[in-house]
Structure 1
Amino acid sequence: MLVSHVPFNKTAINNVIPNATFITILRHPVAAYESIFGFFKIPRILHIHYAANEDPFKMFLSDTDMYVKLTKNPYYMTLLKNRQMFDIGLEPKNYDNETLVDHVIQQAAKDFDLVMIAEYFDESLILLKQLLCWEFGDILYVHQNTRSDKLRFKIDDWKRQRILEINSADYKLYQHFNETFWHKVKAYGDNFYEDLKIFRDMLQKVLLECLDKGRYVIDYANRRNRTLLKDGAPRYCTQIDRSGFGEIAARQHVQTPENNTHV
């Protein structure tokens, strides 16, 4: 398996893993954008000066073009507009070209065997299990890499609208694959929700037997809360915790486009 935060390039990946199965994950642009702003500490990067009672996210959204122009680092430039479309393969100069936006979306629909949806993560894992011929035990996870509340920003109707305007290509991408996602759920068959219930019962068992919710560590520049296992937890808990799958899942700025994936 090759699991990496990279803009998608099918030709390049085929050189590494021929005949690969391609999987990515999308997150609603509003949630993804707020996550990027908090997780990457954009106010500090863009030198947004604000008082204790001011909202730096609102300041940024009020004059986004000005702040983007102040960004010298090309990597951070890609974070501030349509990052998920960038990860799928659209160049920033083409964000406003509806024809190219549609072309990249249609090409992604052909290239990816499964596009997971972060807001329906458990449902996505059921589809992943079916696609890869896995067992329920292969998709168990624990939540990791959760942002501190200090790095979160409230979203009101005005912010939501502004975010969708700034990330219109991302929104179009998300709408397309959110629709096709439910077509895959329907195609799965009548036992989809039965399997989903079985899986969620197993996740609840993991939560009760494995995790000590009262204990966690904050590291990675005060950006990561890592829940610890209970003392004397069953051996399988350690295997799930060490697998890294939960941490990959939690980022959701993914392609894995935090993310892909951050929570």
Structure 2
Amino acid sequence: MLLRQPTDEGFNVLVNHVPFHRANMEKVMKPTAKYVTILREPVSRWYSVVEYYSLFKLALRLTKEQYGAIKKSPLDDFLSAIAKCKYFSCSLGYNGQLFDLGLTEKVYYTDEHAIQRKIKTIEKELDLVLIAEYFDESLLLLKKMMCWTFEDIMYIKKKKRRNVSREPTRIEQANAIRKWNKGDVMLYQRFIRTLWNKIHKYGPNFQKDLRRFRGMNYVTTKSCVNTTSSDINGNYILQNRSDLCQNLNRDIRPYTEMLVNIVNMRGQ
């Protein structure tokens, strides 16, 4: 679906919501590209997907009144409806992270051996898997892999969902969602272990570097944004027009030789 093919050795960077297919991506990326993704805890991600895409309404073809009522009902019928739903958005509610990483055939979502084989392939094809719940730790690993500076990985939070919109998850609901998204759970658990193995290999300076990075990021956030107010979308309001703050406010920074395949839901 690329409108324009690269005229030289390939694109420098691809940052987009795109299902991962290493062989196809290598056709358009530079030979030295790094392949990176980010995963999120499956239950919280599932609720985010459902809300973001209004999957209750989409999968069950509900009226507005029915939509409001069924959100408080048992999940079984809804989970089954997602599996049968033909809309692309519904596929993101059924092992959606595994789907985005290339296991698109739903028939394999109940086959643990097929899931394990796919996860092993993903391990070989991706250079780094970040974890949303350990975002700062993940960024330090990305910094080291890419030979970047601390300034290169500083960030401000954008489009963060307000806490008032978050509803507590009942244990039985969470267990049902984990069972339904077993592939995503297996994927997440594998790369949580991988993350901590990489942190161990980072060396004794990891905690020192983490404290330094968080301190720098805290000072930068205080300098760049008004943390006591936000716009209608929940974004912090930029209060400093320095070059650093302007860079942090960009959606995409032109890092060379890197491919980022963002899997977790943007802004949720």
One fold, TM greater than 0.5?
yes
Gaps (5+ residues) in structure 2?
1-12, 254-259
Residue 14 of structure 1 is aligned with which of 2, 10, 26?
Answer: 26
Q: Report which stretch shifted further, 140-149 or 39-48.
A: 39-48
Partner of 2:248 in structure 1? 240
The structural deviation recorded for 1:243 is 4.9
SS in 1 for 2:85: coil
Q: How do 1:87-102 residues align onto structure 2 when only pairs under 5 Å count?
A: 87-91=100-104, 92-102=106-116
The structural deviation recorded for 1:65 is 4.2
Partner of 1:27 in structure 2? 40
For residues 165-206 of structure 1, give each alpha carbon's deviation from its aligned partner in whole angstroms, at most 9, with x where no partner exists: 110010000001101110000000000110001100011101
For residues 48-94 of structure 1, give each alpha carbon's deviation from its aligned partner in whole angstroms, at most 9, with x where no partner exists: 45869x66444362323443266332x12312200001011112221
Q: Contact (CA 8 Å) 1:60, 1:67: kept in 2 or not?
A: no
Separation in 2, partners of 1:161, 1:213:
36
Classify 1:50/1:153 alpha carbon distance in 2 versus 1 (closer, same or farther; 3 Å): farther
Residue 56 of structure 2 is aligned with which of 43, 47, 65?
Answer: 43
Q: Report which stretch shifted further, 41-50 or 123-132.
A: 41-50
For residues 106-129 of structure 1, give each alpha carbon's deviation from its aligned partner in whole angstroms, at most 9, with x where no partner exists: 011111111111000000000000
Partner of 1:262 in structure 2? 267
Separation in 1, partners of 2:223, 2:262:
28
Runs of 4+ in 1 over 6 A off after TM superposition: none
Partner of 2:93 in structure 1? 80
Q: Contact (CA 8 Å) 1:35, 1:262: kept in 2 or not?
A: no
SS in 2 for 1:22: strand
Normalising by structure 1, we get a TM-score of: 0.85
Partner of 1:249 in structure 2? none
Classify 1:64/1:243 alpha carbon distance in 2 versus 1 (closer, same or farther; 3 Å): closer
SS in 2 for 1:59: coil
RMSD of aligned alpha carbons? 2.4
Aligned partner letter, 2:92: L
Number of equivalent positions: 247
Residue identity (%): 33
Separation in 2, partners of 1:155, 1:121:
22
Aligned partner letter, 1:240: L
Normalising by structure 2, we get a TM-score of: 0.84
Separation in 2, partners of 1:152, 1:45:
21
Separation in 2, partners of 1:150, 1:51:
22
SS in 1 for 2:14: coil
Q: Contact (CA 8 Å) 1:85, 1:173: kept in 2 or not?
A: yes
Q: Report which stretch shifted further, 158-167 or 121-130.
A: 158-167
Matched, 1:146 2:145: no
Separation in 1, partners of 2:228, 2:32:
45
Residue 187 of structure 1 is aligned with which of 188, 201, 207?
Answer: 201
Aligned partner letter, 1:88: L
Separation in 2, partners of 1:112, 1:3:
15
